[in-house]
Structure 1
Amino acid sequence: MKTKIIATIGPSSLSPSVFNQMADAGMDFIRLNSKYGTHLQYDKVLKDVNNSSKRLKIIFDISELKSLDYFIKNNLEYLALSFTESGEQIEEVKKLVPNAKIISKIESVRGVKNYNKILDFSWGVMIARGDLGEAIPLEQIPCLQKSLAHKAVKKEKFVIVATEMLLSMVESPKPTRAEVSDVANAIYDGASAVMLSEETAIGKYPIESVDFMNKIIKHTESCIF
């Protein structure tokens, strides 16, 4: 099964033309995050999704529960929860949106400590290496990523590897060799999806970022499957 590409939508990717070209380049999911847009802008994005010839899925990323109103109003399906740290936290959200497919973002020491319980209550997890790298020594992140991903795969959970995957493409039309290796290693780790953040939200090359990530996925998977 092809590793999916998640692209965060923002100023660089709001226009229908860019959005459609990203879909053609290999984008499978779009991620909506209040850091990069307003609800009014999201309304236009949702129209673009409905008008797209490709069946795109939407992840709504929240940091506070009051944002659930927009999720419910638009009958969205995938909900990413920032700083998930316990199974009980997920249970509380499920009471409000029982049909949501909850993606728990692992971003703290407590989230790592309670990971097994979090997995049990989640549809999927996101290994969010940005904030996680602030909480845990950087040299430990690669090993931890493998451990978290393998546990998720074993429990048949959707697992996303995120943060700074092709970050240099915010300014450059091509990634670095290290970034290409990073994406490939996430695939070797069993990632269900790899995610673009700044690259597609505020970068100069959102289409090229999706296209290059798709190339990495195709070649890496041809080596292991």
Structure 2
Amino acid sequence: MKKLGEDFAFSSIGFVRTPFKDKFGVPRQPGLAAQAKGVIKIHPDPDLKTALKSLEEFSHLWIVFVFHEHGGKNWKPSIRPPRLGGNRKVGVLASRSPHRPNPIGISAVSIEKIDLEAEGGPEIYVGGVDLIDGTPVLDIKPYIPYADSIPEANAGWASGDIPRYPVKFTDDAEAEILKRDPHGEKNLRALIIDILELDPRPAFQKRQLPVTEQETWGTRYGFDVIGNDVKYEIREGHFLVYALGYNKS
């Protein structure tokens, strides 16, 4: 790949712990799955700890991160966004695709609590994450509503309502969730609903096997969340969770 311009070197200031061990099931954007919780683990450096002073005064922050597992070796100038069902190409810089000239992303998340004295370095507990577990963090910045929120902004090709589908559970699946999260501390059931109602399948599967088409009913899939192998199928216009296994990895 040809050189684009001047080179810069960056070092991570930490990484993010999330429920998502791989890209399948990860929400497409931050905030779409409110139950998706994460922890930004800051490296144990005294200067980084000092740098976090007063962050607790804010309700949200931006995570500047690296798409470290997007799987692509080279970037492409145009992509097919899942939001458009893979039916139309747009310029990669007119998208949030991880396959960029520089694989850097941003996510706005809520701050739930900050533990500056955590063992191994400060921890920032956040909500609404859309990142794979272990994602490297380059920087964090406070979210400032008067500067960062533009209500009249045009969302371009990404405008319009995001489709959401009903999620149901078999009795066996409900029993297994209760067994694994008896007091609801992990919000496991709510997290599964948050993920599934957005249809986490790749764009080509959504296009070839629509949830609303009877011919697709009975098609089965799975994804991992918090070490749980969630098995589900398309059933009469909704997603049915029929079993939970354990991730062996």
- Same structural fold, with TM-score higher than 0.5 when normalized by the shorter chain: no
TM bucket normalised to smaller: under 0.3
From the two aligned structures, give the one with the greater strand fraction. Answer: 2
Q: Which of these two proteins has the greater Rg computed from alpha carbons?
A: 2
From the two aligned structures, give the one with the greater helix fraction. Answer: 1
TM-score (norm 2): 0.21
